Amino acid sequence: MLWIKNGIVVDPKNKINLEKMDIFVKNGKIVPESEIKKGDCKVIDASGKLVVAGGVDMHAHIAGGKINTGRTMRPEEMRVVRNIAGKFRASVGRVLLTAPAIGYEYAKMGYTTSFEAATPPVSSLHTHEELDSIPMIDKAALPVFGNWHLVFKCIEEKNIEKLKALVAWAIERSKGFGVKVVNPGGVEAWMYGGNVKNLDDQVPGFGVTPREIITWLIRANEELGLPHSVHLHCNNLGVPGNYQTTIESIKLAKGFKNEKRQVLHVTHVQFNAYSGSSWRDFGSGAAEIAKLVNSMDNVTIDMGQPIFGHATAMTGDAPFQFTLHKLLGARWSNKDTEVETGAGIVPIGYLPNNPVHAVQWAIGLELGLLTESDKVALTTDYPNGGPFTEYPYIMAMLMSKKMREGELKKVHQYVQKATNLPSIDVEKTLYEVIHMTRSLPARILGLENKGHLGIGADADIAIYNLNPLETDFSNGFEKVYKAFKVAEFTIKGGEVIVRNGELLKEVYGRTFWVDARKKVDLEVVMQDVKNYFQYYSLQLSNYGVEERWLKKPERLEVV
């Protein structure tokens, strides 16, 4: 049992803002005082300190083929040793961290949950083996559906029952969490040397369009009642003028309604918020996107904030990565993954004196500042925008115009005319930023026991050496950044795993997966599945992941 005394609590889900209160923990859960014996409790005196739920990173690339290929392509990354101490494993990498380092660095920062944002179902065993190697945090993986031949076939036939059965079958086989869509139809078009340019382009070889892929998968997702909505990486990522495609894609959600959550989450929007017709007049379309998202109740987004310095672009959007390779002349890896998807990896670095990179940096902040805090989560799209370890930098920037003004002096001055950031006076409150990093991403994902400190919640708690009642967040941004960089205490499932940034013990979190098989008749799609395996390099009997293979599986059944 654990008793956290006198902490200054911020818990947006439960409408608690800067209240001094005690928190009690028993058997890994937050419980009322009546359920514990104070004399038997371990006590943490949190007087004058900020107490919040453990951070939730809803979109990061932390496991699987892409990050391993990225590590191979950047051997210089592996020369950086972050932590070797006592019983803890070697923690290696600058941005492309090894699996132990990922868990350790999240925990030191006060984060306790992270989701792998894209895995081909056929590669899910590899993904889960690596997720199982990441300590300290709970995790899950989102299988990709937007370029799978079987998905195209179901939509082409306009057979919603078959599509629902396919989604339920694939999520169970991959032990995945939801429906990820990457450049719908565009990756398949890339196999023929092209891409799709708008939502009504037809996918080569199939009578379907990106518009249909998105709307049919939203419909299937909603009828299945999955905890998370469709998670969309829009078409035309990284292309000047793509904010218009993003706006058109977001509007597709208007045909759907869900009383509990959004029906569409649009991810790393910074990469899809560009105005202009070329790189010569490249600029920001963030204000228009934020205005639309603010007007809708069934759409959420995350930032995809770039961080100056090292990064590595890796995504299931193969045509974009090839384009990036040609633009930068950088090393490049692409692959076609069976009949399900494709991917690409390009090492990059964001430079403050590069006008394009400076505008990208500004656009991410614009989205975070102009979008209502109940609709935008904080991410870097790790490692595409940069390391998740710099979330405190973004948090401080959102809360301090003075800090932004100082940073704007360091970047290319093209930002002044190409974006709205210099004129934005918004300063997010601590309450809003805690919501953007805790309760909101948990709500978007459908994790009821994460991101808050209410009774029954998982006892994932972060305590920071920061007195919010005495802190000027606008002017004291350096203090804010330092405090959020290293948690004084990180508590995972009721166990103290970090104190003052020092790792105390290694624990392993759960891997969540969703089982929706009871909502469908799997037999309506199985003959098609069997037929398509003539195009696979493995047999159907060897496809997928068994629950018993996972270290600590947590099945969420949809009934």
Beta strands, E only, 120-249: 138-143, 180-182, 230-233
Q: Which residue has the tokens 């993904």?
A: 127
The dihedrals phi and psi of 41, each to the nearest 5 degrees, come to -90, 145
- Go through the domains of the chain in sequence order and give each one's CATH number: 53-445 (3.20.20)
What's the pLDDT tens digit per position in 195-217?
A: 999 999 999 999 999 999 999 99
C-alpha–C-alpha distance, residues 150 and 159, integer Å: 12
Cβ(151)–Cβ(212) under 8 Å?
A: no
Q: Which two tokens stand for residue 180?
A: 């990820």
Q: Which residue has the tokens 């920037």?
A: 397
Cβ(322)–Cβ(332) under 8 Å?
A: yes
C-alpha–C-alpha distance, residues 417 and 404, integer Å: 16
Q: Which two tokens stand for residue 90?
A: 């070697």
pLDDT of residue 347: 87
pLDDT of residue 180: 98
C-alpha–C-alpha distance, residues 349 and 312, integer Å: 7
Helix, strand, coil tally for the chain in percent (to 5):
40, 25, 40
Count of beta carbons in the 10 Å neighbourhood of residue 170: 25
Q: Which residue has the tokens 């083929």?
A: 65
The dihedrals phi and psi of 481, each to the nearest 5 degrees, come to -60, -45
443 Rama class: left (phi>0) / alpha (psi -120 to 50) / beta: alpha
Q: What is the pLDDT along the chain (559 residues), one digit of tens a residue?
A: 999 999 999 999 999 999 999 999 999 999 999 999 999 999 999 999 999 999 999 999 999 988 888 888 888 888 888 776 667 888 899 999 999 999 999 999 999 999 999 999 999 999 999 999 999 999 999 999 999 999 999 999 999 999 999 999 999 999 999 999 999 999 999 888 889 999 999 999 999 999 999 999 999 999 999 999 999 999 999 999 999 999 999 999 999 999 999 999 999 999 999 999 999 999 999 999 999 999 999 999 999 999 999 888 888 888 888 788 877 788 878 877 899 998 888 888 999 999 999 999 999 999 999 999 999 999 999 999 999 999 999 999 999 999 999 999 999 999 999 999 999 999 999 999 999 999 999 999 999 999 999 999 999 999 999 999 999 999 999 999 999 999 999 999 999 999 999 999 999 999 999 999 999 999 999 999 999 999 999 999 999 999 999 999 999 999 9
pLDDT of residue 290: 98
The pTM for the full model equals 0.97
Distances (CA, A) of 429 to 281, 393, 398: 34, 15, 8
